[in-house]
Amino acid sequence: MRLVPWQPDDMLRRLDDVVSVYGEAMGYRAELLATRRGYIGAHVRRAGFRAVATLTTEGQLAGFGYGYASGAGQWWHDQVRSALPDTDRQRWLGDCFEVVELHVRPTAQGHGIGARQLRALLSMADGATVLLSTPEADEQKSRAWRLYRRFGFEDVLRNFYFPGDERAFAILGRDLPLTERARAEGAPGIVGI
Ligand SMILES: CC(C)(COP(=O)(O)OP(=O)(O)OC[C@H]1O[C@@H](n2cnc3c(N)ncnc32)[C@H](O)[C@@H]1OP(=O)(O)O)[C@@H](O)C(=O)NCCC(=O)NCCS
């Protein structure tokens, strides 16, 4: 397995694979994936875009993650902003990198790939804070939750509902840059990118 930084065009070239990993990891239906494909294609042009991918020795996509500078006028940013109390808006959204997607193909999960991707992505990100949203779940049982907690993500909003989605989400955040401790605890035993 090889972890590589991706430029926007790398992501666009592998968009079919990206959507396939995303669909498998999240268990989403084909109709939803078509819409998501369009969004991802547009996201690569956003300011501060950063992406990483994990490739097998045969070049197959095992996982990916990406994010960008969170800004006013973006749907996710505006939803989160309107739900935050005034005092938290500047603290969390003033200079924020949003982790938009982070996924590993189910057959490749559980081997530290997600942690390695997250660590690399946050190391490349600009911003004073990082935010992400993840479905509410049992923190002990969910691999995503365990991963984010290991990296020191704290609760920013809990049981938040985005318009048009019946699932409850948590918005989690932490300061950037990653401390050495968070880097080590998030991805133990892995050296370098
Ligand atoms: C969440 C997700 C990205 C995590 O990626 P992953 O590669 O499966 O997870 P990790 O990197 O944490 O690895 C899992 C386990 O391997 C362990 N691990 C860490 N480094 C390791 C290494 N070098 N070798 C082996 N195992 C290692 C971790 O301790 C972790 O243990 P835990 O899950 O019991 O806490 C992935 O599971 C996924 O795509 N899930 C479905 C989609 C999803 O929920 N995405 C996030 C939505 S916001």
192 within domain boundaries: no
Annotated catalytic residue 161: no
pLDDT of residue 174: 98
**Residue of 56, 52, 139, 59 lying closest to 103 (CA atoms):** 52
**Single-letter amino acid code for the residue at 2:** R
We report the CATH number of the domain holding residue 86 as 3.40.630.30
Tokens of 4: 């590589």
**The ligand 1 atom nearest the CA atom of 190:** 23
* Selected catalytic residue, list 28, 66, 148, 161: 148
pLDDT of residue 188: 61
pLDDT digits (tens, 9 = 90+) for 4-43: 999 999 999 999 999 999 999 999 888 889 999 999 999 9
| Any atom of ligand 1 within 6 Å of the Cβ of 142 | no
| Stretches in the chain below the pLDDT threshold 50 | 190-193
**Residue of 114, 96, 110 lying closest to 186 (CA atoms):** 114
- 188: phi then psi, degrees, rounded to nearest 5: -65, 140
Contact, 45 vs 11, CB < 8 A? no
| Any atom of ligand 1 within 6 Å of the Cβ of 27 | no
193 within domain boundaries: no
pLDDT of residue 181: 77
pLDDT of residue 172: 98
Structural domain containing residue 71: 2-186
Structural domain total, the chain: 1
b/e sequence 123-145, b meaning 16+ C-beta within 10 Å: eebebebbbbbbeeeeeeeeebb
Q: State the distance from the centre of ligand 1 to the C-alpha of 68, rounded, in angstroms.
A: 22
pLDDT of residue 184: 79
Ligand 1, atom 14: nearest CA belongs to which residue? 110
pLDDT of residue 193: 38
pLDDT of residue 192: 43
